[in-house]
Structures are given as structure tokens and as C-alpha cells.
Amino acid sequence: MTGPQGRILREENSRTALTALAGPADDESSSNSSCDSSAERSSTTTQYFAAILATLSAFSAGTILGWSSPALPLLQAENSPLPVTADEGSWLGSLLTLGALLGAAPAGALSQLFGRQRFLAFLSLPLLTSWLMVALGRSVGVLYVGRFIGGLATGAVSVAAPVYCAEIAEQKCRGALGTLFQLQLVVGILFAYVIGAWAPLECFAFTCALVPAVFAITFAWMPETPQFLLSRGRKFAAENSLQWLRGKGCDVQKELLILQSAAQEADASDAGSARRTLLTLASDAATRRALLVSLGLMAFQQLSGINAVVFYSGSIFKEAGGALSPGVASVVIAGVMVLATLCATMMVDKAGRKPLLLLSAAAMAVCLAALSFSFAYTVDAGEEKPDWLNWLPVLSVAIYIVVFSIGFGPIPWMMMGELFSASAKSPASALVASFNWALAFAVTKGFQSLVAALGSAGAFAFFSGVCMVGCSFVVLIVPETKGRSIEQIQQQLAAPKRTLPV
């Protein structure tokens, strides 16, 4: 990264912010949106359109994630045409996360080799293949293979889709587009829960197979990201892509020059090596701190107890009154997650990343502590359980799901797409996504062991403690990126810690 000509500190919105002065191109009002006059203001419509189509891949991944909840009880029923044991059912769930771990690892390099749009469009094939194998499979082995292939595609999508959305977005809507990955993921889970509640297994799978088919047909017409095209020296194609994304009435020349300069710097830093590796990335101060932030956010996302809460939610709702079956409770939970994530999409560019993360971690800690207390009190009270103990766990679960969905659900994925420089984005995003899926696999397989060792109350108390630590991590480590261009974020990460905004 070229050194700025100077740096000054100035007061902005009652906080100290780092401002880099590197000529007119770095001015905040035009650094990522080059349309200054009202007549030439950029349109976000095409950006949202492209991002929504790109994250149809996340919708499809969500249906794969949501399949096991309605499908496994049917497969394990006595009259099932394909009987599945409890152990086999566990593997049908965990093979997905294992496949996602292995699929995320090479996804960064592949998207850098073939292009973000082309690689993402290719992933429609394994997504579709996975559903066809689940629909037509007549043995548990075929289901294993189908779920594993779906996991590979899901892991790759979790790298490629956030990167694509981050690279097509301008500064004013980058946060909203970044949260679309998580929003489409939970919409896909809700879709699977609803379809799985009434459709036979084969019809369920074929219906979900329509999603990657629609994704393949529609996303094939979307443009490649300007950053990738410039990294290949295709300036004319990059200009056309940027013009389509920003609208015909927008003068994109200033933004194109900024992106071209960033691409040239990336090429210069890569001199002497065919492509950057994680080892060389670790030598860059901004990338090191971006990795620390991204890996930390993913760790707290997975260790916040989200899988444990969802696992227990059916029984919690049932014990509270018996009116909701586990299947209906799952649909209600997924619906709440969709609505809350949609709220995060609308708020993240206004409220900022840190306030939402801090609210999310603090509220989750309180809810999990209340849930732990309710489990402990139920054991002590025996059959003489007071009335308030029926609604406390239900209220705790409901609030927990809402605050997770507005903070630690979507924002870690969004920040993964905006913290890294263009040259670091592919390998670093692959590492971060692989780390996330590794933790998801470990938590999914190890949760029952944790309950056996600590009891339900102790397990949820542990998750509550993790969320408390997450509050400190957000306050001390996570930078605020709202309203900053990618270049300004890199300068912010590379600056000495004492000069960073609070």
C-alpha cells in the first residue's frame, strides 16, 4: 500500500477518526462513490440486484443446512422407506459441516484463479447435484455422498459470495449488501423447514433443487467484479462492469482510478511470487489485524451457543405449554431469525458494526445466563416448578435469537468481505471461512459431551461466559468500518493502535 502523504486526526461525530490525506481521490465524499452531483448520483438498484442473485447460492446452502431438521425424524420413523439409525442421522448432519470445512479451504484460490462470478456460478452444479442425490438416493451411503457434496459447495459459497458482494458494493451500501449472505442463508433454512413440514422427502428435495437451478440461470448474466478484472489487466471490462453496477448516469472514472491504483499496488507487492500466500500476508500489519478481527468474530459466533439454543428450542417451547410441536417451533425460530437479520440489513449502515456487535454479545450473555438459571432451578425445584419458569426460557430463547441475528449472525461474514485488501481477500477469506466451519463441526459433534460433563445449566453458563468475553473483544479489538472506504479501512488497520477510532 502506498504511504499517504500525511495523516491528521480530526473530530468527527464526537469521536476521533483517522483521516488519510493522499490527494483528491481519497476524499471521504468520493472515495468509493464517484458520482458527486445529484444529476450523476449512482444507483444502488443494480448492486442490490446482483448481490441478491449472487446470494441465491447462500439461499441454496441454507436449504441444505435446514434439511436435517424436518428430514431426520421422517427417516428415523418406523415406517420410513429408508431407515436411518441415530448414529447415521448424526453423520448426515455432521458430514455437511465437514464438507463445508474442506470446501472453504481452496475456495479463495479458485475464485482468484477463475473469477468471483464464474466460480460462484459454477457452484450451482454441486449444489444441484447434492439435492438430486438426496432426492434419488436409495441408500444411506448415497445420502452421505450427497450431503458431503452439499457441504463442499456450502463452504465454497461462504467464501465466494461475501467477497463478490463486498467487491461490487460502493461505500454507502456495503454493509447492507454484506449482510445479504446471512439473510439469504436463514431464508433458505426457513424455506427448508416450511417445505419439509408438509412435503414428502422426495418432493422436499426436488423443490429445494429448484433454487440452485434458478441461481445458475440468473446469475450467469451478472458481471464480474471490477477488482478482479483490474487484477487481470482488463481495464475496459472493469469499466463496463463498474458502469453497469453504478448506473448509466454515473461518472465512474474517479472510482475506477482508485480501484486501478489499488490493483497496481497489489501487483507490485506480489512481485517475485505467482500469488500471495498466508505466510506472506502475515507480514503485513493491516492483514494481521484483519485476520485477528475476522477469526475472533467467527470464534465468538460459533461459541455463542447458537447451535445449542436451536437444539434445545423445540423442547423448551414444548415444556412451556405443549402447544407447539418441535417442527412448528423450528419454523417459528427460523422466521424470527429472518426478520431480525432483515432488520440488521437495514440498520448496519446507519447504526454501525460495533454497536450492533456489542448489543448482540451483551444481550446473548444475559439470555444464556437466564437459560442456565432456568435449567438449574428446574432440577432443584423438581415437580414443583413455578409458573414463571415456564416463560423465562421461552423469552430467553426468543430474545437470544433476535439479538444473535442482528449482530453476531450476519456481521462477521460482512466484515470478512470488507476488512481485507484486494490482494489478501481470497486467501484470507478462505482461512476465515474454514475456521468458522471447523468450529461449527467441533461444536456440533462436541455439544452432547459438554452437556454430559457440565450438565445443561453448566453448558449454557459456559456459552454465556464466552459472550461476555466477546463484549470485551468487540470493544478492544474490532474497528468500526461504517462510512469508510476499503482504502481507509486498510489505513485504519495499519495505523498504530493508539490512533485508531474508539
Domains of the chain, first to last: 42-222 (1.20.1250.20), 278-502 (1.20.1250.20)
Q: What is the pLDDT of residue 275?
A: 47
Q: At what angle do helices 107-114 and 140-168 cross, to 10 degrees?
A: 60
The C-alpha cell that represents 364 in the structure block: 446473548
Cα 14 from Cα 348, distance rounded (Å)? 19
Q: Which amino acid is at 396?
A: S
Does the predicted model carry a pTM greater than 0.75? yes
Residues 47, 177 contacting (CB under 8 angstroms): yes
Q: What is the pLDDT of residue 27?
A: 39
Cα 486 from Cα 174, distance rounded (Å)? 10
Beta-carbon contacts of 134 under 8 Å, excluding residues fewer than 6 positions away, are: 67, 143, 146, 147, 150, 205
Residues 161, 55 contacting (CB under 8 angstroms): yes
User: Whose grid coordinates read 480530526?
Assistant: 10
Q: What is the pLDDT of residue 473?
A: 95
Q: What is the pLDDT of residue 12?
A: 30
- Cα–Cα distances (Å) from 478 to 352, 353, 377, in that order, read 12, 9, 36
137 φ, ψ to 5°? -65, 135
pLDDT in tens, the chain (502 residues): 334 333 322 223 332 232 332 333 333 334 444 454 433 566 788 999 999 999 999 999 999 998 988 888 888 877 777 888 878 887 888 888 889 999 999 998 899 899 999 999 999 999 999 999 999 988 899 999 999 999 999 999 999 999 999 899 888 888 888 889 999 999 999 999 999 888 888 999 999 999 999 999 999 999 999 999 998 889 999 999 999 999 888 888 888 888 888 777 766 655 444 345 556 666 778 888 899 999 999 999 999 988 777 767 766 766 655 455 667 777 888 888 899 888 888 888 888 889 999 999 999 999 999 988 888 876 555 556 666 677 788 888 889 989 999 999 999 988 888 888 777 888 888 899 999 999 988 887 788 788 888 888 898 999 999 999 999 999 999 998 887 877 788 888 877 654 444 4
Beta-carbon contacts of 218 under 8 Å, excluding residues fewer than 6 positions away, are: 53, 56
Cα 475 from Cα 350, distance rounded (Å)? 19
14 φ, ψ to 5°? 65, 25
Q: 407: exposed, middle or buried (C-beta count within 10 Å: 0-12, 13-18, 19+)?
A: buried
